[in-house]
Amino acid sequence: MILLDTPVISALMDPAPDARILSWFAGNPAARLHISTVTEAELLAAAARLPDGLRQRTIAQIDAMVAEDFAGRVLPLDSAAARDLAAILARAARTGQSIPMVAAQNAAIARANGARLATLNPNAFAGTGVDLINPLDQEPRYVE
Protein backbone atom coordinates (compact mmCIF):
# COMPACT_ATOMS: atom_id res chain seq x y z
CA MET A 1 0.00 0.00 0.00
CA ILE A 2 1.27 3.45 -0.96
CA LEU A 3 -0.27 6.68 0.33
CA LEU A 4 0.17 9.56 -2.12
CA ASP A 5 1.08 12.89 -0.54
CA THR A 6 -0.75 16.01 -1.73
CA PRO A 7 2.10 17.37 -3.91
CA VAL A 8 2.21 14.05 -5.79
CA ILE A 9 -1.51 14.33 -6.58
CA SER A 10 -1.12 18.01 -7.45
CA ALA A 11 1.71 17.13 -9.84
CA LEU A 12 -0.50 14.53 -11.52
CA MET A 13 -3.28 17.12 -11.92
CA ASP A 14 -0.90 19.62 -13.53
CA PRO A 15 -1.74 20.33 -17.20
CA ALA A 16 1.86 19.35 -18.08
CA PRO A 17 2.89 16.79 -15.44
CA ASP A 18 6.50 15.69 -15.00
CA ALA A 19 7.10 12.59 -17.14
CA ARG A 20 8.94 10.88 -14.25
CA ILE A 21 5.89 11.17 -12.00
CA LEU A 22 3.60 9.89 -14.76
CA SER A 23 5.94 6.96 -15.37
CA TRP A 24 6.15 6.13 -11.67
CA PHE A 25 2.38 6.39 -11.28
CA ALA A 26 1.70 4.22 -14.34
CA GLY A 27 4.19 1.63 -13.08
CA ASN A 28 2.25 1.01 -9.88
CA PRO A 29 -0.97 -1.02 -9.68
CA ALA A 30 -3.88 1.32 -9.01
CA ALA A 31 -5.10 -0.93 -6.19
CA ARG A 32 -1.89 -0.15 -4.25
CA LEU A 33 -2.25 3.64 -4.52
CA HIS A 34 -4.30 5.53 -1.93
CA ILE A 35 -4.95 9.11 -0.91
CA SER A 36 -6.03 10.47 2.46
CA THR A 37 -8.95 12.61 3.51
CA VAL A 38 -6.27 15.15 4.53
CA THR A 39 -5.05 15.32 0.92
CA GLU A 40 -8.64 15.58 -0.31
CA ALA A 41 -9.18 18.54 2.06
CA GLU A 42 -5.92 20.21 0.99
CA LEU A 43 -6.86 19.94 -2.68
CA LEU A 44 -10.36 21.30 -2.05
CA ALA A 45 -8.99 24.18 0.05
CA ALA A 46 -6.59 25.14 -2.74
CA ALA A 47 -9.40 24.93 -5.30
CA ALA A 48 -11.66 27.11 -3.15
CA ARG A 49 -9.19 29.99 -3.57
CA LEU A 50 -9.39 29.92 -7.38
CA PRO A 51 -11.51 32.28 -9.52
CA ASP A 52 -15.15 31.19 -9.97
CA GLY A 53 -15.09 29.23 -13.25
CA LEU A 54 -11.75 27.59 -12.60
CA ARG A 55 -12.76 26.87 -9.01
CA GLN A 56 -15.89 25.00 -10.10
CA ARG A 57 -14.02 22.96 -12.73
CA THR A 58 -11.21 22.10 -10.33
CA ILE A 59 -13.59 21.03 -7.55
CA ALA A 60 -15.46 18.84 -10.07
CA GLN A 61 -12.12 17.32 -11.15
CA ILE A 62 -11.18 16.61 -7.52
CA ASP A 63 -14.61 15.13 -6.77
CA ALA A 64 -14.36 12.85 -9.83
CA MET A 65 -10.83 11.79 -8.92
CA VAL A 66 -11.88 10.85 -5.38
CA ALA A 67 -15.10 9.10 -6.45
CA GLU A 68 -13.73 7.31 -9.51
CA ASP A 69 -9.93 7.10 -9.57
CA PHE A 70 -9.58 6.42 -5.83
CA ALA A 71 -12.95 4.78 -5.09
CA GLY A 72 -12.54 2.73 -1.91
CA ARG A 73 -8.94 3.92 -1.53
CA VAL A 74 -9.32 7.14 0.49
CA LEU A 75 -7.84 6.65 3.96
CA PRO A 76 -9.28 8.66 6.87
CA LEU A 77 -7.63 10.27 9.86
CA ASP A 78 -9.31 7.75 12.18
CA SER A 79 -8.66 6.85 15.83
CA ALA A 80 -5.66 4.65 15.01
CA ALA A 81 -4.12 7.44 12.93
CA ALA A 82 -4.91 9.94 15.71
CA ARG A 83 -2.79 7.90 18.11
CA ASP A 84 0.06 7.78 15.59
CA LEU A 85 -0.35 11.53 15.03
CA ALA A 86 -0.02 12.15 18.76
CA ALA A 87 3.18 10.07 18.84
CA ILE A 88 4.64 11.90 15.83
CA LEU A 89 3.86 15.33 17.28
CA ALA A 90 5.18 14.36 20.73
CA ARG A 91 8.45 13.11 19.22
CA ALA A 92 8.81 16.29 17.17
CA ALA A 93 8.24 18.41 20.29
CA ARG A 94 10.78 16.40 22.30
CA THR A 95 13.44 16.71 19.62
CA GLY A 96 12.72 20.32 18.69
CA GLN A 97 11.78 19.28 15.18
CA SER A 98 9.29 21.32 13.20
CA ILE A 99 6.83 19.26 11.19
CA PRO A 100 3.93 20.72 9.22
CA MET A 101 0.60 19.51 10.64
CA VAL A 102 -0.54 18.20 7.26
CA ALA A 103 2.68 16.20 6.88
CA ALA A 104 2.25 14.81 10.40
CA GLN A 105 -1.36 13.86 9.62
CA ASN A 106 -0.46 12.06 6.39
CA ALA A 107 2.47 10.32 8.09
CA ALA A 108 0.12 9.17 10.85
CA ILE A 109 -2.40 7.84 8.34
CA ALA A 110 0.40 5.97 6.54
CA ARG A 111 1.71 4.51 9.82
CA ALA A 112 -1.75 3.46 11.00
CA ASN A 113 -2.36 1.63 7.71
CA GLY A 114 1.10 0.14 7.26
CA ALA A 115 1.55 2.16 4.08
CA ARG A 116 4.59 3.64 2.43
CA LEU A 117 4.28 7.36 1.68
CA ALA A 118 5.00 8.75 -1.79
CA THR A 119 6.13 12.36 -1.46
CA LEU A 120 8.04 14.98 -3.40
CA ASN A 121 9.28 16.46 -0.11
CA PRO A 122 10.88 13.68 1.97
CA ASN A 123 12.44 16.18 4.40
CA ALA A 124 8.96 17.16 5.64
CA PHE A 125 8.53 13.61 7.00
CA ALA A 126 11.88 13.21 8.76
CA GLY A 127 11.55 11.38 12.04
CA THR A 128 8.00 10.13 11.44
CA GLY A 129 8.98 6.48 11.09
CA VAL A 130 7.27 6.18 7.72
CA ASP A 131 8.90 4.43 4.76
CA LEU A 132 9.14 7.13 2.07
CA ILE A 133 9.18 6.97 -1.72
CA ASN A 134 10.08 9.93 -3.92
CA PRO A 135 8.48 9.34 -7.35
CA LEU A 136 11.14 11.56 -8.92
CA ASP A 137 13.88 9.20 -7.72
CA GLN A 138 12.07 5.85 -7.69
CA GLU A 139 11.90 3.26 -10.42
CA PRO A 140 8.36 3.06 -11.83
CA ARG A 141 7.35 -0.16 -10.11
CA TYR A 142 5.77 -1.23 -6.87
CA VAL A 143 8.15 -2.61 -4.27
CA GLU A 144 6.50 -4.83 -1.63
pLDDT tens column, 68-89: 999 999 999 999 999 999 999 9
Tell me the pLDDT band of 137, cut-offs 50, 70 and 90: confident
CATH code, domain carrying 115: 3.40.50.1010
Does residue 51 form part of some domain?
no
DSSP assignment of 64-126 equals HIIIIITTT-EE---HHHHHHHHHHHHHHHHHT----HHHHHHHHHHHHTT-EEE-S-GGGGT
Tell me the pLDDT band of 28, cut-offs 50, 70 and 90: very high
Residue 18 assigned as binding residue: no
Pair 43, 64: CB distance under 8 Å: no
Total structural domains in the chain?
1
Does residue 108 form part of some domain?
yes
Domain that holds residue 87: 2-35+75-133
Q: Has this prediction a pTM greater than 0.85? A: yes
Does residue 140 form part of some domain?
no
d(CA 7, CA 9): 5
